[in-house]
Structure 1
Amino acid sequence: MDRRVTPYSGRVAHVSLKGRISAPLTEGRSGRIVVPLADLRDKPGGARDRQLLMGAAVTVIDHEEGHLFVQSRRDGYCGWVESAAVGEGPEPTHWVAAPATHLHTEPLVQAPETASLSLGSQLAVTAFSGAWAQTPQGFVPLCHLRPIGQWAPDAVSVAESLLGTPYLWGGNSRFGIDCSGLVQVALHATGCDCPGDSDMQMEMGRPLAPQEGLRRGDLLFWKGHVALVVNPDVLIHANGATMSVVCEGIVEAIRRIAEAGGGPVLARKRPG
């Protein structure tokens, strides 16, 4: 079983694994990420696998050393987060559609900010004050939000809004992102499901026949890497060569990655 999507902490397992694993079982409890960004780690205080954004729904399965073992409700990814990152709150009504935004203490441009939020974060809007949305965490410019269900029409445009974002292994936000994080954030913003890592993403969608040309929104996969097609000649990806999100010529990228030891393109997929 792939530990990344297996709700088993090493001590306690979710009831969905009944009959498949010998361990105490729990139904867990529901929670939400209540901090702007939470690292999802392979063990308490361990290496970052992925990140969860504010408002993400999780199932809490175990606890240890100030950490909680959780499973993301959206993509099934499992790992340990700091206990303070999980709490309870109202069902989100809106998502952050801008690359990033701030929470403010008052509905004023001049009001102090208390936190920064990345694209894809989810908030419960409780009231409106002119051009501002009020949430339990503070005020957010309404122009940066969309109602949940009102998704972006184009994943590539979402990815392009993150151009220049610094590369961060396991990152899922405007403040740092990796190749699979960029694809997941972009597809989630269009309302599409998407797993967290590139090897999982390579299993989704329809393989393109050898004679089929690339079109906007297609995915190119290498071993351990993925990119979105902007047009038949250009891709966009978060990469370690520039340590950022950039657009790059497809032919040039394929050559550069091969010369760097990354191997050939392994798959061409069309999501949906």
Structure 2
Amino acid sequence: MLDLPDRRLNAYRTDLAEERLRGVVEANNYVSGSPGLICVPVVQLRTRPELECGTDTELLLGETVRVLDTDAGWAWVKADFDDYVGYIPDYAISPVVRSLTHIITAPRTFIYSGPDLKFPTVQALSMGNRIAVIDERETRGTRYFLLEGGQAVIANHCAEVGEPLSGDYVTVASRFLETPYLWGGRSGFGIDCSGLVQLSMMMTGKNVPRDTDMQANGLGTGIDRGDLRRGDLVFWKGHVAIMEDEKTLLHANGHTMTVSHEGLEDAIRRIGWLYQQPTGYRRP
């Protein structure tokens, strides 16, 4: 039986496929797609164009995609950042018409109607959201970045696009402590285990795969359990955790339904009855 490409990372249906798969898969038509920009803080990407379908991952404000098809209020897209393929509501996409200057570095923050913390909020933002700053203003000692229409964000909740956060990615991941666990989540509003790894590494300038199996197969190098140190990853079937030090890990998990600390040995015992022993250890 012919092995077909991973549908999570390769866009193909019987009627349509991305151009680069011509000669690899059979489809009635092949397209290169058109560029699009995510224009909402967070949007869920699904396997099928149905709200009842579970979430595979999420795309964040300012991320770019290739739009392969649109129909009945849905867009079939491929994310430029990690190549993930799926369906999102078409209202979440706008044309790529301007460059984005800054990225949100706080786990969560707000857009205000103007440069004052007493002004009404317009929207909540997540770490990883990208915005276009056009000016700045200071009010009572707090510096704000101004957006189109006079809206504003807290300046020290932002960094310039392309300027990785200093320090290691574990420090970034720890800022999500107590964030709710969300299957397929990839934002400060809700996040899953591999989303925590991907987003925190992205903020420090590293591009890593999205799902646990992808990370386990291709992220960094394999190591022995006895060599674990801060920043290493522990994998189970369908789960990943980040080592904070030689004995403690940090992970988004369905046990506490949050991002939480846990002792490595405690986690191995607790997880073992359902998912058996760890499948591997890797150093990014």
Q: TM-score per shorter chain, which class?
A: over 0.9
Q: Per-residue displacement from partner, 1:81-127 (whole Å, max 9, x unpaired)?
A: 00000002412211111111111111111111111111111112122
Q: After the TM superposition, list the runs of 4 or more consecutive aligned residues in structure 1 that deviate by more than 4 angstroms.
A: none
Pick closer, same or farther for the CA change 1:183–1:155 going to 2, 3 Å.
same
- 2:20 partner letter: S
The answer (yes or no) to whether the contact 1:9–1:69 under 8 Å persists in 2 is no
Q: Which amino acid in structure 1 is aligned with residue 124 of structure 2? A: S
Aligned length: 269
Distance 1:61 1:241, change over 3 A: same
**Structure 2 gap segments, 5+ residues each:** none
Report the Cα distance in structure 2 between the residues aligned to 1:11 and 1:98, rounded to whole angstroms: 42
Counterpart in the other structure of 2:57: 50
Q: Superposition pairs for residues 155-234 of structure 1, below 5 Å?
A: 155-203=169-217, 204-209=219-224, 211=226, 213-234=227-248
**Aligned CA-pair RMSD:** 1.3
Among 99, 116, 122, the residue aligned to 2:130:
122
Which residues of structure 1 form unaligned runs of 5+?
none
Following superposition, the deviation at residue 135 of structure 1 comes to 2.3
Aligned to 2:10: 6
Q: 136-145 vs 199-208, which deviates more?
A: 136-145
Of 131-140 and 37-46, more deviation after overlay is shown by 131-140
How far apart, in 2, do the equivalents of 1:167 and 1:41 lie? 18
Aligned partner (choices 92, 106, 129) of residue 98 of structure 1: 106
Q: Could you tell me which residue of structure 2 aligns to residue 262 of structure 1? A: 275
Change (3 A) 1:215 1:26: same
Q: Is the Cα contact below 8 Å between 2:225 and 2:281 reproduced in 1? A: no
Paired residue for 2:164, among 115, 140, 151? 151
Specify the alignment match of 1:236 in structure 2: 250
SS for the counterpart of 1:3 is coil
Judged with a 3 Å threshold, the aligned counterparts in structure 2 of structure 1 residues 247 and 112 are, in CA distance, closer, same or farther, namely: same
2:26 matches 1:22: yes
Local SS of the residue matching 2:171? helix
Aligned 8 A contact 1:53 1:120 in 2: yes
Partner in structure 2 of residue 107 of structure 1: 115
TM-score, length of structure 2 as denominator length: 0.92
**What is the rounded CA distance, in whole Å, between the counterparts of 1:10 and 1:188 in structure 2?**
34
Q: Distance in 1 between matches of 2:20 and 2:147?
A: 34
Mapped to 1, the partners of 2:188 and 2:225 lie a distance apart of 35
**Does structure 1 residue 40 correspond to structure 2 residue 45?**
yes
Paired residues of 2:68 and 2:77 also in contact (CA < 8 A)? yes
Does the 8 Å contact 1:107/1:129 carry over to 2? yes
Q: What is the rounded CA distance, in whole Å, between the counterparts of 1:154 and 1:10 in structure 2?
A: 44
